[in-house]
Structure 1
């Protein structure tokens, strides 16, 4: 599937990101509505009537188009089960092991060699470290080999209709998806992606595609499904637009003990927790590299495998570049997995 990038997409990059595919428990799920697999979606509900009215009045969809698109849509219980499962707390040593496998590392190194010239161009244009781009590519879709087998239209309808915790978010993504498909001549009933509606090698949500996807293979078409240059450049552009600063730290090790309760309090705040880097340096008695603009750090506690480790945790301080990675996916564990995979890919 190929999408054309308009000039405005190539020059204007504002918000949103890939939905949360993580296991770090930074929020609690709201129970889903009890439904059956294959249950027809009731299009007569007030929320669907309002949706159709908006699609007609604001986006100029005809009633006939909407009927053809939505008729016969059914609930996917599997989508709801997977969304619920992602919120179950998993220790970092288990989360880490899903992604940093010998095969993932070996394949990633091959991809770095295979696309060396392309990645050099991407680094020069976007100023994002190549190993980070490839690590995200590897974690999201196993370097493009696993892009998801769920029908996006069914997924987004299921989550809008029967996943109340994020219903408004998925309503917006459903609208963006329909507009995107119309703009590019895609049948919305056949496009496939993940169980949360993300698609392509970069696993962008529809709104993220429309804001951050770029063409980098010599034409004006943005093809995140089959074009490696487009996918990797779009990942780099996403990070650039969210504040990546080349040549600055991503994270630093703090050891197996936090020396001050203020650090622990910040850690317990999760992704939004911040603490001055001067304070971290002082209380941990470590010669930490300066933070760009003296911006504050986050504190991340990473569980170690009790079968092999002498300590229960290792602690790290996340720098602004780390925070940028977690804009791609709102999980501290995700940020660490990307960072550590990138380090492994760089080693020979």
Structure 2
């Protein structure tokens, strides 16, 4: 089981429990109100909830990671892309695909999501399960819920969901580990997403995102399908944008595909495809300082990927990694 250094040191009594507001989480008025709410809304024993929070600890690193940087960096698509489209990430994706080909095909058949998309998301999120995070989830979420006012409501909600998830899975809430924001396992689902979208895809009677990749595969596919993935439809295609076009206005219309083909054509934008879909799209700008901006037309399935992470850079990295994996996998699987 993964543990942070702070968690291990606390359990051994080597350091005292930190806390910006002082003392144990269990002594904090907002945590006591949380425990009272868990009893009133969900029938938990408030003292048990407080005892669990008392065993948690504040994670100063979580606060460092969640805060926006003091100075915003310049967006660079090429720099972002390079983080996820290197030879090791592609080779790792092919190996993951080969190992779990049966589950990936089952997910494609059941949910309509191609194997390469599922593999790419897991590859971008956790490097195929290698980097799932080592923060104790209760401690990370409690830190954000009680010591980060800008998003306290969101993370109190996720802490609530984690307690509910632990009760459903008959686990100690403190047994979950993940990212600094409380995302768990291969697919990096928050507790609310696990409860809403996770599936027992290998049929063994429980959902395990730490040790059972099949559950992660089925859950990612289910998540995308539930958010509107359309089987067999285009994700995105490159777009040729003339210099005189008011591209920024179209980009600013939003990430949801709402630009009619007529609107795109009237702006002089041409899809770099022989048969572009006659469906609404969004204009995606992938800017790199010192280089021409790449433009793409994103369709419904592109938008669905952004429901996983609300970033056009993220969605395009997933899509490009997926295409690279698909092309490589076809070559590997082809008869020699």
Q: TM-score, normalised by structure 1?
A: 0.81
Q: Could you tell me which residue of structure 2 aligns to residue 81 of structure 1?
A: 64
**SS in structure 2 of the partner of residue 312 of structure 1:** strand
Q: Could you tell me which residue of structure 2 aligns to residue 160 of structure 1?
A: 145
Q: 1:48 to 1:117 in 2, by over 3 A?
A: closer
Q: Cα deviation per residue 1:104-127 (whole Å; 9 max; x = unaligned)?
A: 011112222232232221111111
**SS in structure 2 of the partner of residue 81 of structure 1:** helix
Out of 289, 296, 310, which is 1:330 matched to?
310
Q: 1:264 to 1:136 in 2, by over 3 A?
A: same
Q: Could you tell me which residue of structure 1 aligns to residue 222 of structure 2?
A: 237
1-structure distance, mates of 2:103, 2:199: 14
Q: Could you tell me which residue of structure 2 aligns to residue 188 of structure 1?
A: 173
2-structure distance, mates of 1:291, 1:160: 44
Q: Cα deviation per residue 1:66-90 (whole Å; 9 max; x = unaligned)?
A: 2211115432121111112579444
**2:86 is equivalent to residue 106 of structure 1:** no
- State whether residues 35 and 47 of structure 2, in contact with CA within 8 Å, keep that contact through their aligned partners in structure 1: no
Q: 1:301 to 1:44 in 2, by over 3 A?
A: same
**SS in structure 1 of the partner of residue 313 of structure 2:** helix
**2:276 is equivalent to residue 281 of structure 1:** no
Could you tell me which runs of 5 or more consecutive residues in structure 1 were left unpaired when the two chains were aligned.
Answer: 2-34
Q: Could you tell me which residue of structure 2 aligns to residue 302 of structure 1?
A: 286
2-structure distance, mates of 1:279, 1:265: 12
Q: Could you tell me which residue of structure 2 aligns to residue 340 of structure 1?
A: 320
- State whether residues 157 and 174 of structure 1, in contact with CA within 8 Å, keep that contact through their aligned partners in structure 2: yes
Q: Cα deviation per residue 1:26-76 (whole Å; 9 max; x = unaligned)?
A: xxxxxxxxx977954555555333322211111111132022111154321
**2:300 is equivalent to residue 315 of structure 1:** no
- State whether residues 32 and 50 of structure 2, in contact with CA within 8 Å, keep that contact through their aligned partners in structure 1: no
Q: Could you tell me which residue of structure 2 aligns to residue 8 of structure 1?
A: none
Over aligned residue pairs, what C-alpha RMSD do you find? 2.5
Q: TM-score, normalised by structure 2?
A: 0.84
- State whether residues 148 and 194 of structure 1, in contact with CA within 8 Å, keep that contact through their aligned partners in structure 2: yes
Mean Cα deviation higher: 248-257 or 103-112: 248-257
Mean Cα deviation higher: 277-286 or 151-160: 277-286
2-structure distance, mates of 1:65, 1:129: 44
- State whether residues 198 and 205 of structure 1, in contact with CA within 8 Å, keep that contact through their aligned partners in structure 2: yes
**SS in structure 2 of the partner of residue 199 of structure 1:** coil
Q: 1:256 to 1:86 in 2, by over 3 A?
A: farther
Q: Could you tell me which residue of structure 2 aligns to residue 264 of structure 1?
A: 248
User: Which of the two has higher C-alpha Rg?
Assistant: 2
Mean Cα deviation higher: 92-101 or 72-81: 72-81
Mean Cα deviation higher: 320-329 or 155-164: 155-164
Could you tell me which runs of 5 or more consecutive residues in structure 2 were left unpaired when the two chains were aligned.
Answer: 2-17, 329-336
2-structure distance, mates of 1:152, 1:42: 14
Out of 92, 105, 129, which is 2:114 matched to?
129
Q: Could you tell me which residue of structure 1 aligns to residue 159 of structure 2?
A: 174
Mean Cα deviation higher: 337-346 or 88-97: 88-97
Q: 1:64 to 1:336 in 2, by over 3 A?
A: same
